[in-house]
Structure 1
Amino acid sequence: MVRRIDVTGTGGVRLAAWEFTDPPKIGGAGEAERGPGVLLLHGLMGRAAHWADTARWLSARYRPVGLDQRGHGRSDKPADGPYDRDAYVDDAIAAIEQLGLAPVVLIGHSMGALTAWQLAARRPDLVSALVICDMRASALGAASQQDWTEWFRSWPVPFATLADVRKWFGEDDPTLERPRPARGEFFAEVMAERADGWRPVFSRRQMLTARATWVHDAHWEELAHVRCPTLVVRGLDGELGRAEAQEMVRVLPGGVYAEIADTGHLLPWEQPDAWRRAVDPFLAEALPST
């Protein structure tokens, strides 16, 4: 069962949260029956629905909740934002507190991972464990932002069909070195049908605005302030390099390293079984009482 629960984020922004487990039975033990809370934070352009497979196996022992972050999915997309780091972190804190998830496990992919470790550094009282999936702590710089601007401009929007979406992002995108079918499926999840064809459910302008608030800065200091057990996972062909990932583990007081072969940035969706084999034992050790 998946049910939607609206959360009020910073500035009154309405955020759609999705609980992937059955609610507790009337007369039952309440929160204790649902296990420790897990907040799943997607990356830039993502949505909570991307975590459905992960949530399915997590739900055996935990209470997984996915959050459509501001500007994404079915959450509000305020024209004037804000889309800065504080807004994303404060939204996630609001979700944890309003849904009664603390002490929570944070699992974040890409930008969602950055939000997760910034939250864990700021509010260690709310977080029991952390999983960082393919997110760099180093600054990416202006050239990276320009590359993204040009990439967004290259999208042949609107797409005539979802099959066209899957093909372009999985095969025809000029940034691809080889076909990645899982990537095509990933982007099909964030398209909606309009009168003229299929368009993204997010604003590319807003995505660039959000990205601009973190690509120019390094985030090592915040990483060093994370006190909970933390797993850093990278795909062998992902954006996070091995040397940087291992340095992140060294900086983290409770860091653990995992690497998944034959996958890129979207490793939970390209290699779901290997992703589970990395995350599940880590959580079992970090939260032995479950």
Structure 2
Amino acid sequence: MTSYSWSERFVVHDGVRLLCRDWGGSGTDVLLLHGLAGHSGEWDTTARLLRDSGHRVVAFDQRGHGGSERHPGDVSRAAYVSDVLAVVAELGLDRPVLVGQSLGGSTALLTAAARPGLPRALVLVEAGPDGAGPGLQEQIGGWLRGWPVPFPSREAAAAYLGGGKEPVGDGWAAGLEERADGLWPRFDPEVMVRSLDENATRSFWDEWAAVACPVLALLGQGEQGGIIGGEEYAEMARVQPSLHGVSLPGTGHDLHLERPQLLHRLVVDFLRSLSSRPSCLGAHSSS
């Protein structure tokens, strides 16, 4: 019988408290990293499926998010990476597969570059090494500050945040905090904006070239599309010829919420391919 049960664990790193969802399980370790303004609960369906298919699974609220420290002094890319290393060490994860969406994918990429021997593999969900430009913070900050909070109900929050996509709205709404006057975000928009300082001013192509483990890139391909364009993906594949990429028709940036079952299958198939072909994954592809 399957279960959504997980145990709450806390890791304190450099004075910053990090809330972890430890799903348990056995087999290859997997660490799940959510995106900007997100929360570890976004991965619940994927985490359960991975655990039930034979993996040890952990997700955590990254600094500034959810049940972790809301106002950390340091929100640099290096600080996010350092938190991953602390969680891996504290929870005893052995060469985990790092799975990250959006900013979580950036964190996973930078962790793999900084510690080439740490991850067994890397799964980037709507994430890549390209810089986003100086307008990114203004755009995202304006959106986050414009939320009509407090939301009167979870249904109202899901309708507003989902953009017409029920699974996406439900996923975002699940991360809200219930207070006496309604539902509020579990983050400070200004902390989120500061977390993008480096992404807005530079790219990470040198770090991408330093990644030594196998990589699966999952790309949204719907009406609104994802954030990884054809030119960026082509350059990613040129720099890392063994990159394996899959585009998911009908999905957008939050494809992990829209198609968690498909994401699970792709990750499991990818990891099985590593067992049969440990030296390389072959040419990149898109389907």
Partner in structure 1 of residue 259 of structure 2: 271
1:134·1:232 contact (CA, 8 Å) conserved in 2? Answer: yes
2:11 is paired with a residue whose SS is strand
Q: Distance in 2 between matches of 1:284 and 1:145?
A: 39
1:246·1:257 contact (CA, 8 Å) conserved in 2? Answer: no
Partner in structure 2 of residue 206 of structure 1: 191
Partner in structure 2 of residue 28 of structure 1: none
Q: Distance in 1 between matches of 2:7 and 2:227?
A: 33
Show structure 2 runs of 5+ residues with no match: 278-287
Q: TM-score, normalised by structure 2?
A: 0.89
- Please say if 1:246 is aligned against 2:234: yes
Q: Distance in 2 between matches of 1:123 and 1:148?
A: 30
- Please say if 1:19 is aligned against 2:22: yes
Letter in 2 for 1:195: A
1:20·1:64 contact (CA, 8 Å) conserved in 2? Answer: yes
Among candidates 60, 63, 71, match of residue 67 of structure 1: 60
2:145·2:189 contact (CA, 8 Å) conserved in 1? Answer: no
Question: Deviation at 1:101?
Answer: 0.8
Q: Distance in 2 between matches of 1:192 and 1:150?
A: 21
Letter in 2 for 1:275: L
Q: Distance in 2 between matches of 1:53 and 1:273?
A: 8
Q: Distance in 1 between matches of 2:94 and 2:118?
A: 5
Report sequence identity in percent: 37
Question: Deviation at 1:49?
Answer: 1.3
Superimposed CA distance per residue, residues 106-133 of structure 1 (whole angstroms, 9 cap, x where no aligned partner): 0000011111111111111211100011
Question: Deviation at 1:278?
Answer: 2.2
Among candidates 89, 94, 102, match of residue 97 of structure 1: 89
Partner in structure 2 of residue 3 of structure 1: 7
1:138·1:218 contact (CA, 8 Å) conserved in 2? Answer: yes
- Please say if 1:76 is aligned against 2:69: yes
Point out the more displaced range, 133-142 or 228-237: 133-142
Superimposed CA distance per residue, residues 36-81 of structure 1 (whole angstroms, 9 cap, x where no aligned partner): 2111111111111111111112112210100111111211123x52
Question: Deviation at 1:268?
Answer: 1.4
Partner in structure 1 of residue 283 of structure 2: none
- Does the C-alpha gap of structure 1 residues 19 and 287 become closer, same or farther in structure 2, counting only changes over 3 Å? farther
Letter in 2 for 1:21: G
Superimposed CA distance per residue, residues 132-179 of structure 1 (whole angstroms, 9 cap, x where no aligned partner): 1101321111122211122123211111111110111124xxxxxxx2
Partner in structure 1 of residue 175 of structure 2: 190
Aligned alpha-carbon RMSD (Å): 1.8
- Does the C-alpha gap of structure 1 residues 254 and 99 become closer, same or farther in structure 2, counting only changes over 3 Å? farther
Show structure 1 runs of 5+ residues with no match: 23-33, 172-178
1:5 is paired with a residue whose SS is strand
Partner in structure 2 of residue 180 of structure 1: 165
Q: Distance in 1 between matches of 2:241 and 2:207?
A: 12
1:190·1:201 contact (CA, 8 Å) conserved in 2? Answer: yes
Letter in 2 for 1:113: G
Question: Deviation at 1:199?
Answer: 0.6
Instruction: Map 1:33-48 onto structure 2 (within 5 A).
Output: 34-48=26-40
2:200 is paired with a residue whose SS is coil
Q: TM-score, normalised by structure 1?
A: 0.88
Letter in 1 for 2:139: D
Letter in 1 for 2:215: T
Q: Distance in 1 between matches of 2:9 and 2:95?
A: 19
Letter in 1 for 2:185: P
